[in-house]
Chains A and B, each alone.
Chain A
Amino acid sequence: MITTRQLERRLAVITNWGVAGSFGLGLIQTGFGDGNVPIGLAGFGLIAAGFVSQVIVNKLYSSRFSRGEIAFGIAAFGIAVLTFIFAWLFDPAFDGADMAIGISGFAGLIGCFLIYLIARYGLKGSFSMFHRAGEPS
């Protein structure tokens, strides 16, 4: 049975993404739709802020990203990147502003993730973590 502390952490995570995620995705959508680079980047900035907030929540609750959260995060990021690439390749209305938003935004998110890994596990530890993850159990 889930404890009160676990429930509170879950609440913090969902609340955080409820605001940062909804406003962030909306702004990204408007940024791409209107070709408005500042608005699109503000959306990516909110997603990055949501990620940083979750790191803080993890710290406060002495926990790490759960497997479900990691899976969800990677899947969502992967789908978003693939959608961006397909739109770039096949959407005739895709222009320079869209490219600027997408490339800067995704680069920023990847940067955040790398900074987190290095801060959390150290430079060597981050590589070792991936190395270990690839080994047969």
Chain B
Amino acid sequence: MSEAAVWLLAFVAIYLAYCVYWGAASGRLAVSADDFFLADRSLPPWIFVLAATAASFSGWFFLGHTGLISADGFQFAQLSLCAVTVPLTGVVFLKRQWLLGKRYGYVTPGDMFADYFQSETMRLLVVFIALIFAVPFVAMQLSASGMLIWILSDGAVGPRVACWVLAAVLFLYVCIGGFRSVAYVATLQGLLLAAGLAATGLVAYGKLGGVAAFSDALALLGTTDIGPWGQTAEGYNANLVIPGVIQFTDGLGLETPVGGPWTAAMALSYCFALMGIQAAPAFTIWAFACRNAKGFAPQQVWASAAAMGLLLVFFAVLVGIGAQFLGASPAVTDGGLSLSPWLSDAAGDAPGLLVVHFIHGLAADNPWFNGLLAVCGLAALQAMIALNLLAAGVILSRDFYKRYLNPAADDRSLTLYGRVCLGLVLIAALLVASYMPSTESELGALALPFAFQFWPALAAVCWLPWLTRQGVVSGLFVGLAAVVFTEPFGESIANFFGFSLPWGRWPWTIHSAGWGIFFNLLLCLTVSAATRGGADRNHRGAYHAFLTEAAGLTAQQRMLRPTAWVIVLAWLFFALGPGAVFGNDVFGAPNAGIGAWVLGVPSLWAWQILWWALGVLMIWFLAYRMGMSTDSGGMRASGVVFEPPRLPDTPVADWRNWFWVAVVGLSLIAAAHWMFAR
């Protein structure tokens, strides 16, 4: 075993011991179900700031985001601005969900939606989304963890073994300590994520020889068509520009967009998907678990938009695009543009593993760094796994077991079934990760766009009483369907029944989250307009009366409201929307050489830095000045635990009926597949 592998295993062992320690320490405080599920609603602000940031950005940003920047260039780096849009969801919804949680004692988002809309369908949809997050999405992260250990240990530990061992430790601390242990461990995970991103960025900076040398290399690259996407329609190297506002292609797999897929429409709609992170059921549980609202604004403004934005806009670009000049791109190396061919050839093979190879490249000179950065990557991955796993356990226990199977369940059995459920979910995720990689990627890709479809439902609960139950539920169903049928899973379903979809993945260079929210809103607004009024409106009005009293705008904030709208819409337009293409050459044409670049860096990078800084100001304005994430009410009373009204004891609810419905349904599906599938 190499010295680097020994350091790696030592660091991983210390990290896992840390996790188990906090699981045990938290477990001693988990007396009631409320303790286990929500840490007694008493998590302090600083823990929320670190842990919620870790869960929001997680392994995807540490590994995937940087890798895709390397693969697709600055057109994908535009998505670094999601450091601003991810917390935007939190700014809009988090405080109000927290207030509702304190007032009504909700434990799960299913409680909140079912109570507000008086709809059990909403509860079941929350269970469904939580499971999509918990099984395939967690499986993807577990697979990535296994690969990380496998590569960095020089093959001494197999990916599957690593995956199962890490999952076992994860289960141990989540199962023992509940939400408190997830939050406690995530504090270190948040810091390690940021430190890891910064450290890899600084290493890239050193290897590239500074920003000036990097810019010179980019200027040379701009005069060529080297890169996976060649040139755009304007004749620029596709690495350095956004390839248009939108391209009306049939979708990936059927038609390749000219100059790359990351048009402005794609960037905006992909950011919608990432905004699903804080709209997901797990994040609503985060809101319910907070002691007060003091952590919301710092997390959204300073930890997410400012700190993570800085890391993504500067450091992820240095690592991602810098890797092209460090040996990860054979075309760049062959073209004589390489600055220091230091990375192995394998680094460019799989974008998702670029950072892992990057860390591995450090192992020879600094084996301890190999181990420490591996733990940073692991921590980043596990932050989201643990949160989603716990959320699935909580939701299955409360929204399924207690609601439908055993309404008389006490604290003890609820906690027990929560633990059993999260164990089952983890085993399912492990099996998917180990034996069904294609299913994992197909279903995992649905998680974030699905979660974003909760935006109208959350908007209804937090802001818009005129959105009706019928509108929100029907919109959600259609939105989910639109997501499915603009992702590979939809194509697989179509193939199962013997036909092909006439479009590929993400048609018109619009991400599935964009298609989903379009149809979702269309139906939601139409049906809400048709079903407005009635007794339901009065029921919903009570919640909004409370929110207006507890979180209404002051006179000054009401005056600023139009300004806030203008700022947000202008930012979205220029940072991620159609206006983003102005950034292609506003600070100098990409192919005109370094002398023509006004700021000494590619125009699009300068544009991203500019709109990132303005984005931080925007989030600050909304969170603090508009009071959307601050609370002047101090410690709000809690202590109630929501108890939903009993379900009617009708024969329809009998599980035997549902069993036969399932049998007949599955038989029909099997018959259709047998008759029509190729």
Contacts and interface: CB of A to CB of B under 8 A. Distances in A.
Interface of A: 1-2, 4, 7-8, 10-12, 14-15, 18-19, 22-23, 26, 29-30, 34
Given A11-B47, A30-B368, 8 more contacts: A7-B26, A8-B47, A10-B25, A19-B191, A22-B11, A23-B199, A26-B372, A30-B366
A30 B369 contact: yes
A11 B51 CA distance: 12
Given A7-B29, A12-B46, A18 B369 contact: no
B42 interface: yes
Interface residues of B, number: 25
A33 B54 CA distance: 33
B191 A8 contact: no
A11 B184 contact: yes
A7 B180 CA distance: 11
Given A15-B191, A19-B192, A26 B29 contact: no
B25 A18 contact: no
A18 B191 contact: yes
B187 A11 contact: yes
Interface string B362-382: 000110110010000000000
Nearest to B7: A26
B18 A14 contact: yes
B18 A18 contact: yes
Nearest to B50: A15
A1 B29 CA distance: 10
B188 A19 contact: yes
Nearest to A42: B202
B595 interface: no
A32 to B, nearest CB: 12
A14 to B, nearest CB: 7
A15 B22 CA distance: 11
Contact of B29 (A4, A12, A14, A15): A4
B195 interface: yes
Given A4-B29, A4-B42, A8-B44, A19 B366 contact: no
A99 B15 CA distance: 32
Given A7-B29, A19-B188, A29 B368 contact: yes
State the 4 A-B residue pairs at the shortest beta-carbon distance, nearest first.
Answer: A19-B191, A15-B188, A26-B368, A15-B187
Given A4-B29, A15-B187, A18-B18, A23 B372 contact: yes
29 contacts: A1-B28, A2-B28, A4-B29, A4-B40, A4-B42, A7-B25, A7-B26, A7-B29, A8-B47, A12-B46, A14-B18, A15-B50, A15-B187, A15-B188, A18-B18, A18-B188, A18-B192, A19-B188, A19-B191, A19-B195, A22-B11, A22-B372, A23-B195, A23-B199, A26-B366, A26-B368, A26-B369, A26-B372, A30-B369
B179 to A, nearest CB: 13
B16 to A, nearest CB: 13
**Residue among A15, A23, A34 with the most chain B CB within 10 A?**
A15
A119 B424 CA distance: 54
A34 B362 CA distance: 14
A113 B363 CA distance: 34
Nearest to B11: A22
A117 B50 CA distance: 30
Contacts of B28: 1-2
Interface in B172-220: 184, 187-188, 191-192, 195, 199
Interface in B23-52: 25-26, 28-29, 40, 42, 44, 46-47, 50
A8 B195 CA distance: 22
Contact of B22 (A2, A11, A29): A11
A136 to B, nearest CB: 38
B183 to A, nearest CB: 9
